[in-house]
Amino acid sequence: MAGFADLNVPQGPDKKCLQSLLEAAAHLGYSAVALNHVIDFKEKKQEIVKPVSPSELFPSLPIVQGTSKRIKVLTRLTLVVSDPSHCNLLRSTSANIRLYDIIAVFPKTEKLFHIACTTLDVDLVCINVTEKLPFYFRRPPVNMAIDRGIYFELLYTPAIKDSTMRRYTISNAISLMQICKGKNVVISSAAERPLELRGPYDVANLGLLFGLSESEAKAAVSTNCRAAVLHGETRKSACGVVYTVKKPRKVEEEETALPACKKAKTQA
Amino acid sequence: MAAPQLRRLGQAPRHLLVCEKGHARHARSRHAAHVRDHAYNCRVSFLIPECGILPEVLKSTVADVGEYYLVRSLPVHELVAQEFIDAFVKKGSCYALSYNTKIDQDNTAALLPNGKLILSVDKDTYEELGLQGRPSQYSGKKVMRYIITIDLTDAGFHPDSKKHNRVLWALKEKKPLEFDFLLAWYTNIGAGGSTLMSYFSKNQIQALKPKITFSTLRDLQCPVLQSNELQGKPDESCSTEELFEWLGAVLNQVSLDNTSSSFLSTYCCPQPNVMVEKAFLCTITGFIIPEKIIQLLEQLCCYFGEPKLAYWLTLTVHGFADSPVSWRESEHGFHKGGENLYNFVIFRNLDYWLQMAGTSRRMPDIYLQRS
């Protein structure tokens, strides 16, 4: 089984807070975290910024407890969509979107959920856990999502904070499990403070309350996260097989190469 | 709607406890074989009721548990090298276990005393490595872990053979695997620590001594046991499960008095029990090889050679939670906890109970059939 991952650490403006979150995650034994950048289309015009590269943010990443490796930091973009027109952004080949490792959508209506599961090129579909579901899950889109390798994300921090939200979290999770049968589920934190993070084995245990079996619950924090990240990686490659990387070219070479090229053209 | 989920929650996590009974001096007693089957042990503890001071013989046996070695970032192909096989694997029992690697996340490696090298690797590594293995028995439809077994003492595994070359090529060039290893070596001539030290002198090797702690427990309530009553009899003796639970509480220093003000534990000693004035508890932690445990077990049997107050004593051995094998070569998994341990209860008449416990994951089938 792959290492544990938490695919949702909100990327706030406070760098110190983020650093302490990363340290807490590494101490708990997560070997990968994804910094989440949320874009809500309801609020004015929002620009999709380039992801901040983790190496820029943190010069030295904390070491995962019990191993000698450093924690892996990924970037993630979450789009909160409440209108079908918002999805156009995902269809267009926006350069900035492609730079993110993981792309998630948070559909607000049943129609959008259907679109997200069946047609959009995303890795994660967020499930609302803070209020009563505005719609029922239906089998066709969920099955389609499972076939396409899209994962459903459940958050556990709201359940820690508040008892009403806990009720919604559990009931929404169970209604999802009745349809997806425990397949393709990812559990992540969305923790804003280090105290809200929980260890991976504890999260897997919480998964039992969501109606997952023991092995499914453990997969929800390890194997499924790995699969979601790999699904995101295929977006950057051709058919998930071929990568194209820009070859770093030296300045001097370019200078000498250019005239030769011109010459060849005129001759032809 | 939530009924199936609730029903599932009602089930306690699966664990297994297998018990068997025997006599330590019986000609066909298998107690030593059982100890030998469990290769990697990280903690040995014994509890002797009605004993204030440890006899000298036992004390020297405990002190003689032997050193073990920690080699930092040792490439696995060094364990496959012919010089190593000739010098150590074929001449005695060589134990090696990768250190600080997690069986459910990382690659792990272990060398068994019978000369089998076991690599438990994840899917990516397995595909890169190009060695033949089999899927882990704990994987479902999607196989994420593979087990590769290489028999180093096999006659076909000589330096010129195709197989040897392929293994060496895979571990050296295809995917160079490197681990921190815990090493121990035992021969009939004597522990060959210095040879191990000199062989790996170019790697970072350090000799470590097991940590030994002695403690005397005062006024301990001990359950009453009868060697021929495994299931226990109401009001006469306790069953093996009750003893096992009690022993876990004693070894972890859980309070047994069940005071109403305690919010941590409401556990108390099973009935019937006797109050014992003092009990001796010794714990050894480290990389302890089975040969030494057998010696210790023999000495503990000899403890009853002279008349003693105690009716029984116990010896508990914990295995590494992250070792790729538990008993013999059977695969060991880690789901929420990887405990694999066994416990001997030795009675005054040298009858013994052996309790073997595993986690929610399956125990070796051979043991299940016998119980």
Q: How far is A207 from chain B (nearest CA, A)?
A: 11
The predicted pLDDT at position A261 comes to 47
Q: Report pLDDT digits (tens) over B186-206.
A: 877 655 556 778 888 888 888
The predicted pLDDT at position B221 comes to 85
Residue of B5, B100, B140 with shortest CB distance to A211: B5
Instruction: Identify which of A152, A83, A75, A88 has the alpha carbon closest to the alpha carbon of residue A117.
Output: A152
- Please say if the pLDDT value at position A236 is more than 80: no
Q: What separation in angstroms does the CA of B25 have from each of B193, B228, B352, B356?
A: 32, 16, 10, 20
Q: Report pLDDT digits (tens) over B153-175.
A: 888 888 888 888 888 888 888 88
Comparing A222-226, B139-143, B229-233, the range with the smallest average pLDDT is B139-143
Strand, coil or helix: what is A85?
helix
Q: How far is A66 from chain B (nearest CA, A)?
A: 6
Matching residue, tokens 């538990």: B326
Check CB contact under 8 Å for A66 and B100.
Answer: yes
B140 CB neighbours in chain A (<8 A) are 215
B333 CB neighbours in chain A (<8 A) are none
- The answer to whether B116 touches B149, Cβ cutoff 8 Å, is yes
The two three-digit tokens of residue A74, written as one number:
């990924």
List CB contacts of B317: < 8 A, sequence separation 6 or more. B35, B38, B41, B43, B44, B288, B293, B341, B342, B343
The predicted pLDDT at position A44 comes to 63
pLDDT band for position B339 (cuts 50, 70, 90): confident
Mutate to test the interface with A, among B14, B179, B336 (most CBs of A within 10 A): B336
Q: Percent of chain A scored above 90 by pLDDT?
A: 1
Q: How far is A255 from chain B (nearest CA, A)?
A: 39
Check CB contact under 8 Å for A67 and B142.
Answer: no
pLDDT band for position B371 (cuts 50, 70, 90): very low
A67 CB neighbours in chain B (<8 A) are 100-102, 106
Rg of the Cα atoms in chain B: 22
Check CB contact under 8 Å for B336 and A204.
Answer: yes
The predicted pLDDT at position B191 comes to 53
Q: How far is B241 from chain A (nearest CA, A)?
A: 25
A66 CB neighbours in chain B (<8 A) are 100, 102
Residues of B with CB under 8 A from a CB of A: 1-2, 4-5, 8-9, 13, 100-102, 104-106, 122, 140, 142, 144-145, 335-336, 360
- Please say if the pLDDT value at position B11 is more than 60: no
Check CB contact under 8 Å for B9 and A208.
Answer: yes
Residue of B nearest to A212 (CA): B5
Residue of B nearest to A3 (CA): B105
> What stretch of H or E contains B23?
strand B16-23
A211 CB neighbours in chain B (<8 A) are 4-5
Residue of B nearest to A181 (CA): B5
The two three-digit tokens of residue B281, written as one number:
């508890």
The predicted pLDDT at position A47 comes to 67
The predicted pLDDT at position A66 comes to 73
- Please say if the pLDDT value at position A268 is more than 50: no
- Please say if the pLDDT value at position B297 is more than 70: yes
pLDDT band for position B366 (cuts 50, 70, 90): very low
B102 CB neighbours in chain A (<8 A) are 66-67
- The answer to whether A55 touches A94, Cβ cutoff 8 Å, is no
The predicted pLDDT at position B192 comes to 56
Q: Report pLDDT digits (tens) over A141-159.
A: 888 888 888 899 988 988 8
C-alpha A171/C-alpha A160 separation (Å) is 15
Residue of B nearest to A177 (CA): B5
* Mean pLDDT across chain A: 80
Q: How far is B39 from chain A (nearest CA, A)?
A: 23
Q: How far is B363 from chain A (nearest CA, A)?
A: 17
Q: How far is B244 from chain A (nearest CA, A)?
A: 25
Q: What separation in angstroms does the CA of B15 have from each of A211, B232, B321, B352?
A: 21, 21, 14, 22
Residue of A2, A67, A208 with shortest CB distance to B100: A67
A71 CB neighbours in chain B (<8 A) are none
Q: Report pLDDT digits (tens) over B178-190.
A: 888 888 888 776 5
C-alpha A266/C-alpha A264 separation (Å) is 6
Q: What separation in angstroms does the CA of B320 have from each of B35, B110, B270, B288?
A: 14, 11, 29, 10
- Please say if the pLDDT value at position A110 is more than 70: yes
Residue of A2, A66, A215 with shortest CB distance to B140: A215
- pLDDT (mean) for B76-96: 85
Q: Report pLDDT digits (tens) over A45-101.
A: 666 677 777 777 777 777 887 777 788 888 888 888 887 777 777 766 666 777 788
Q: How far is A222 from chain B (nearest CA, A)?
A: 9
The predicted pLDDT at position B236 comes to 84
Residue of B nearest to A205 (CA): B336
- Please say if the pLDDT value at position B309 is more than 50: yes
CA-based end-to-end distance of chain B? 40
